[in-house]
């Protein structure tokens, strides 16, 4: 049996330092940030001083009444962030769920989140060329 070298495998973890947790971290993005949106999700983002991206999530009770549904939405967004975190290095991101987000299927929500990451990457390519 052949050993798998751990360094060769992609790291899809979501450690604590990749999360926005404090009120001050959220406030800094709300005060001054850029936006990318679609019908069901809004993303606020700005550059950070780290070599990795950080994610914050807001899914209110008005969007999804059930805690199970709110957690499902957050889980799908976190999963997508983990798979795209190499392209989102050095960016703080807050994803805000909008009305009717709870009605989307898992596949549709994942597709929407992935499209937002692509928009965000395109924005930074455009800014870096300017």
pLDDT for 18-60, tens place per residue?
A: 889 899 999 999 999 889 988 999 999 999 888 888 999 999 9
- Give the span between the Cα atoms of 63 and 40, in whole angstroms: 10
What the block records as the tokens of 89 is 């290095």
Q: What pLDDT score was predicted for residue 15?
A: 75
Cα–Cα nearest to 17, from 65, 85, 105: 85
**How far, in Å, CA of 30 to CA of 11, rounded?**
29
- Domains of the chain (ranges; CATH) run 12-129 (3.30.230.10)
Q: Are 73 and 59 in contact (CB under 8 A)?
A: yes
Mean pLDDT to the nearest integer, 7-22: 71
pLDDT value of residue 129: 55
> Can you give the pTM of this predicted structure?
0.85
- Calculate mean pLDDT across residues 91-103: 93
In angstroms, how far is the first alpha carbon of the chain from the final one?
52
What is the pLDDT at residue 1? 46
User: Has residue 87 got a pLDDT over 60?
Assistant: yes
Angle between helices 106-129 and 67-84 (to 10 degrees): 40
Categorize the per-residue pLDDT at 123 as very low, low, confident or very high, splitting at 50, 70 and 90.
Answer: confident
Residues 6+ apart with CB under 8 A from 88: 53, 81, 117, 120, 121
Q: What confidence category does residue 90 fall into, taking pLDDT thresholds of 50, 70 and 90?
A: confident
């Amino acid at each position: 049996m052949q050993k798998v070298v751990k360094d060769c495998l992609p790291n899809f973890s979501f450690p604590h330092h990749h999360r926005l947790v404090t009120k001050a971290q959220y406030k800094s993005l709300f005060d001054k940030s850029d936006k990318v949106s679609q019908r069901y999700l809004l993303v606020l983002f700005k550059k950070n001083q780290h070599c990795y991206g950080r994610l914050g999530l807001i899914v209110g009770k008005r969007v999804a009444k059930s805690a199970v549904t709110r957690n499902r939405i957050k889980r799908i967004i976190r999963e997508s962030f983990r798979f795209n975190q190499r392209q989102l290095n050095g960016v703080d991101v807050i994803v805000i769920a909008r009305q009717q987000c709870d009605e989307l299927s898992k596949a549709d929500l994942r597709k929407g989140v992935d499209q937002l990451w692509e928009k965000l990457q395109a924005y930074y390519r455009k800014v870096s060329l300017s």
